[in-house]
Amino acid sequence: MTLESPRNAQTWAARSLLLVGLPAVAVLLLASTAFAADEAAGAPVAAVEKAKPSDPAAVKAGTEPCMECHSSDGDTITFADGTERSVYVDEKVWGGSVHGGRIACTDCHREITDHPHPELKAKTARDYTLERAVTCQRCHYAYYTRVLDSSHYDLLKKGNKDAPTCVDCHGSHATKSPSDPKTPRSAMNASCAKCHTKLYEKYKNSVHGKALAENNPDVPGCIDCHGAHSIVNPKQGDFHVRSYQVCARCHGDEKIMSKYGLSSDVLTTYLDDFHGASNRLYAQGAGIPGKPIATCTDCHGIHDIAKGVEGSSPEVTRKRVADTCRKCHKKVPDAFADAWMSHYPPTLEAAPLVWGIKWAYRLLIPFIMLGLVIHILLHLWRIRTHR
């Protein structure tokens, strides 16, 4: 029997170590990436930006002269297209807003320095609103730049003048702070409803919408799922494959879910099945799926999420689940639904077969890997001792 040369033995040994080491490194990298992605999904929203108040004397000097005229109802302004708008400002409402006492009228209307005011360049009231939108960036620049990356701003760039700007959502003279305890959480939803009327009607009648109407702090409003300023188009990009991360912020929180008797294992059980594991890979940059893979909203709905029917028989529930599966898996029988674990991890009592197979893999795979490593090490030892 001819022994390998020392050089060939060393080369073979190095390659063997690479074969063992590279998969281990890859597993560690995938695990750390997955952990980082799931951590980011539950990251808290940044604190509300606070503008620095102006000098009280300057605020007074830049506000009181304006109120001498604008606090009187009845005055209007006429635009080139013939439309009229009232220039009345309720002094009490302005004073109770987040800006009242902090900034002066002239901080926003800087082009007005004297009376009579200069002639307006805007041809319509909407044109004037769009022109004023850039005013907010002087104090809220961080939020303004996020808007520039939003789907709303994309519509504006395409010439859609009805797309919302700052004042369409926050108002102009009666702006309230979102962090103010006196501001109901449903207030921002009302702003979204101005444009998204049909979607809002669905949401209002959903389990989330009904709870939000009672000012429940645990349920999501529009901006909790879609964001406030950097709103992306849900039909573009990887919004669909990442949407499970949005749902997991609440439904993966054991403290919140325990209040309502719901399982907080929804994220881990979803990521353990084919749909979740696939979407997580795509969310981490594995490309774009050839066709959408089921995520939370495909089974539970988007804006019209309903509460589960209490007291339903197992047969009725089974059929409802199977009907949901048939949206993608055409013509499957009702028995197809028996494979679903209801977002609960398998246990010896509830699903003994699945539980047994899962633990068999957990025990066998480490032993198999250990055996492979020992086999390689013994082979390297043999090469070293017999060269």
Q: Is residue 67 part of a domain?
A: no
Q: Quick one: 333 and 377 in the same domain?
A: no
Task: Domain count for the chain, please give it.
Answer: 2
Q: Quick one: 267 and 335 in the same domain?
A: yes
Average pLDDT over residues 20-49: 42
Q: Quick one: 264 and 320 in the same domain?
A: yes
Q: Quick one: 364 and 331 in the same domain?
A: no
Q: What is the pLDDT of residues 189-237, one digit of tens each?
A: 989 999 999 999 999 999 999 999 998 999 999 999 999 999 999 988 7
Per-residue model confidence (pLDDT) at position 207: 94
Q: Quick one: 247 and 334 in the same domain?
A: yes
Tokens coding 86: 């009232």
Q: In which domain, by residue range, is 267 found? A: 233-345
Q: Is residue 134 part of a domain?
A: no
Place of tokens 């695990």: 31
**Would the pLDDT of 254 be above 60?**
yes
Q: Is residue 69 part of a domain?
A: no
Question: Could you give the residue ranges of the DSSP H alpha helices within the chain?
Answer: 6-41, 56-61, 64-70, 91-96, 105-108, 125-132, 141-148, 151-157, 166-170, 186-193, 197-204, 207-213, 222-226, 239-251, 254-257, 266-272, 274-283, 296-300, 314-325, 352-385
Q: Quick one: 306 and 274 in the same domain?
A: yes
Q: Quick one: 269 and 367 in the same domain?
A: no
Q: Quick one: 353 and 266 in the same domain?
A: no
Per-residue model confidence (pLDDT) at position 255: 94
Q: What is the pLDDT of residues 66-92, one digit of tens each?
A: 999 999 888 899 999 988 999 999 999
Q: Is residue 297 part of a domain?
A: yes
Average pLDDT over residues 106-129: 89
Q: Is residue 97 part of a domain?
A: no
Q: Is residue 147 part of a domain?
A: no
Per-residue model confidence (pLDDT) at position 92: 92
Whether this model's pTM surpasses 0.75: no
Q: Is residue 313 part of a domain?
A: yes
What's the full length of the chain, in residues?
Answer: 387
Per-residue model confidence (pLDDT) at position 359: 93
* Average pLDDT of the residues of the chain: 83
| Listed range (8-12, 144-148, 284-288, 316-320) with the worst mean pLDDT | 8-12
Q: Is residue 85 part of a domain?
A: no
Q: Quick one: 303 and 384 in the same domain?
A: no
